[in-house]
Amino acid sequence: MKNIIKKISDLMDSIGRPVRLMEVCGTHTVAIFRHGIREILPEGIIFLSGPGCPVCVTPIKDVDTAIAISKMNDFILATFGDMMRVPGSKQSLYHAQAEGADIRVVYSSMDALKLASENKERNIVFFATGFETTSPSVAGTLFEAERIGVDNFYIYSAHKTIPPAIKALLDSDDVRVEGFILPGHVSTIIGSRPYEFIASDYRVSSVITGFDAEDILQAIMMLLEQIASGKPAVEIQYKRAVREEGNPKAVSLMNEYFEPRNANWRGIGMIPRSGLRLRDKFGRWDAEKLFHIDIPDSKEPKSCICGSVIRGAKIPTDCPLFGRACTPERPVGACMVSTEGSCAAYYKYSGVYRG
């Protein structure tokens, strides 16, 4: 790794100015802190966190809708555990559960299907969140539900897709990024081709990388090589897991069951064709269509800058609530909830004053 760090230092000397890099994935944000990468790199490399934490970008309306479903008679809401404390407009799923709503934490959509098989007198709705990493598994669960004849299982799709979000960032006025550290997990599914617009249309560098310290350092070196040469590209450092074409079977399954739709991202707003909804022919499993729950949109909490953090326009410590009114134990914004959230990572690893 010493040779990589030396090469990074030489490249920064060659570039001769600060460089702004965005790690899109929340797992990369945590890994950069955990491995102490910021401390061993030369000055001038500025890391910005992006919108790659599914908990952070799930909008208030979706949380409120999930809570409303959980309070309906004869309904059980199944959800991933990291969604439990995400703030809605008035409460979180955790608080709704404490008030008596039947909410079950599951580790996968197949666990939710099992719950439906074991509670046939109840309606089971799976709160389907996540990116391209999880949506193929949800599609596979629906295939299995049809195969075994379970008819009391539904999903509420809050799935998001990463490439449209990156495009929205590049189109915005307040985000200045010269290189993207692209997500490893998502890219095992979609490959590198969906990111080609980053280099071809925006002349910005990008590298798909893994999560070890050497992975990330190599990705930074590759990004700086692109920037120094003025030749932006989409490169794969994480070749042991990611292929250019991705996982065609997973993508095919996802596309069979889901279609793109416009979607709201917490703190960012509506991004065209960045969400996934069930296709009409699979509407019998679509809780959103079947149960007609009308929940109004709500504004983000006052003074919370989670949206600016997700866009890479600010860092968590710029927020007046950080570490004071907003902590992992008492989160005001969604970025402080998940272990992959930017604010939670800064709180745990940055060592800044928290009063």
* Confidence at 63, pLDDT banded by 50, 70, 90: very high
Residue 317, Cβ density class (10 Å: 0-12 exposed, 13-18 middle, ≥19 buried): middle
Residue 355: the pLDDT is 39
Prediction pTM value: 0.93
Range of weakest confidence among 29-43, 142-156, 285-299: 285-299
- Please give the DSSP secondary-structure letter assigned to residue 301: P
Q: Please state the CATH superfamily assignment of the domain spanning residues 1-303 in this structure.
A: HypD, alpha/beta domain 2 (3.40.50.11740)
Residue 351: the pLDDT is 63
Domain ranges for the chain, please list them.
Answer: 1-303, 306-349
Does the structure show a pLDDT above 60 at 353? no
> What percentage of the chain reaches a pLDDT higher than 90?
83
* Confidence at 148, pLDDT banded by 50, 70, 90: very high
How many CB atoms lie under 10 A from the CB of residue 28?
29
pLDDT tens-digit readout, 170-225: 998 888 899 999 999 999 999 999 999 999 999 999 999 999 999 999 999 999 99
Instruction: Output the DSSP codes for 30-55.
Output: HHHHHTTHHHHSPTTEEEEEEEE-HH
Does the structure show a pLDDT above 50 at 49? yes
Residue 6: the pLDDT is 95
Does the structure show a pLDDT above 80 at 352? no
Segment 289-306 mean pLDDT: 86
pLDDT tens-digit readout, 251-272: 999 999 999 999 999 878 899 9
Number of alpha helices (DSSP H) and beta strands (DSSP E) in the chain: 16, 11
Q: What is the dihedral of CA 149, 152, 157, 158, to 10 degrees?
A: -140
State the number of CA atoms in the 13 A half-sphere of 35 facing the CB. 19
Does the structure show a pLDDT above 70 at 140? yes
Are 118 and 148 a contacting pair, CB within 8 Å?
Answer: no
Residue 354: the pLDDT is 41
Does the structure show a pLDDT above 90 at 298? no
Report which residue type is found at 11: L
Does the structure show a pLDDT above 80 at 316? yes
What rounded mean pLDDT belongs to the chain? 94
The residue among 133 and 306 whose pLDDT is bigger is 133
Are 169 and 312 a contacting pair, CB within 8 Å?
Answer: yes
Q: What residues pair up with 126 in beta bridges, in sequence order?
A: 78, 155
Q: How far is CA 152 from CA 104, 277, 290, in A?
A: 16, 19, 12
Q: Whole-angstrom Cα distance, residue 306 to residue 291?
A: 31
